[in-house]
Amino acid sequence: MTDIALIEEADDSRIADWIGDRLDAALAATGGTVAITIPGGSTPFPILDRLGARGLDWSRIRVWPGDDRIVPEDHPASNTGRIRAALDPLGAQIVPLAEDAQPPHFAIAWLGMGADGHIASLFPNTDPKIDDPVQVRRLTPDPLPPEAPFDRVTLTIPSLLSSDEIMFVIRGAEKRAVFDAAMRGGHDLPVARLLSAARQPVTCFA
C-alpha cells in the first residue's frame, strides 16, 4: 500500500484547486490529451462548478465516468448525462462508459466511496479483484440501492489503478471510519482492495 495523504476539512474550492493544478501539470507535460475519471453522486458537481472557472484547456481533457447506471443519458440517474451537462459546455470530451470500452491511463482517478466500502460500482457482493482481466464490467449490486435500482457498468480495479494519482472525497463520519479501517487493513471491502494494490500517490479529502 502506498502512503495516503489525508487532507482534513477541505472545501469544494480547495479540492477544485488541487484537481486543477494537477490537470494543468498533466496538460503541460504532453501535447496531446489527458484523461480523468469522475464519480457519480451529488458530491462532484459543486467541485466541478469551481473547477470550470479555472480556464483549463478543456478541449484536451477526456472525462470518463468511473461507473454509470444502465439508463439513457437523459435519465436523472445517468452519471454520464450529469457530467456532460456540467463539462460539455466547457469543451471537454465526455466518454460514455460501455462494456467494450478501452479506458486510457488516467491523470487522476477520482473516487467516492459508499458506507459499505464500495468504489465506482464495485460493491462488496461483486467481489472485485485487483487482477481482474477486464477493464470494464457490467454488474448488479445486491442489494440494489433504493435510490438507484439499476444495473451498472463500472471501471474495474485495474482500470482505476492505471492512473498517475488516485483521489477520494469522503464526507461524513460513517464513511470516514470505513476509509480509516481500509487504510489500516481492517477489512477486505472494495476500497481496501484498491488501497492495498495502489502504488501511486493517493489523496483523501475528508
Q: What is the CATH number of the domain that holds 105?
A: 3.40.50.1360
pLDDT score for 192: 97
pLDDT score for 121: 96
Task: For residue 145, give the DSSP letter.
Answer: P
Asked if the model's pLDDT at residue 145 lies above 90, the reply is no
pLDDT score for 2: 79
- Distance, C-alpha 125 to centroid of its chain: 19
Tens of pLDDT, residue by residue over 92-122, are 999 999 999 999 999 999 999 999 999 999 9
Closest C-alpha to 109, from 165, 182, 29: 165
36: containing domain: 4-205
Which amino acid is it at 55? G
Distance CA 65, CA 116 (A): 20
Asked if the model's pLDDT at residue 146 lies above 90, the reply is no
Q: What are phi and psi of 20, to 5 degrees?
A: -60, -40
Asked if the model's pLDDT at residue 179 lies above 80, the reply is yes
Give the CA radius of gyration of the chain: 16
**Under 8 Å between Cβ of 193 and 157:** yes
Q: Is 135 exposed, middle or buried (0-12, 13-18, 19+ CB in 10 A)?
A: middle
Asked if the model's pLDDT at residue 205 lies above 90, the reply is yes
**What does pLDDT average to over the chain?**
95
- Please provide the size of the chain in residues: 206
pTM (two decimals)? 0.94
Number of separate domains in the chain: 1
Asked if the model's pLDDT at residue 1 lies above 80, the reply is no
Neighbours of 68 (CB within 10 A): 26
Tens of pLDDT, residue by residue over 69-99, are 999 999 999 999 999 999 999 999 999 999 9
pLDDT score for 12: 95
Tens of pLDDT, residue by residue over 14-59, are 999 999 999 999 999 998 999 999 998 889 999 999 999 988 999 9
Task: For residue 75, give the DSSP letter.
Answer: S
pLDDT score for 42: 87
Q: What angle do CA 38, 149, 162 make, to 5 degrees?
A: 25
**Under 8 Å between Cβ of 86 and 14:** no
Asked if the model's pLDDT at residue 143 lies above 90, the reply is no
pLDDT score for 15: 97
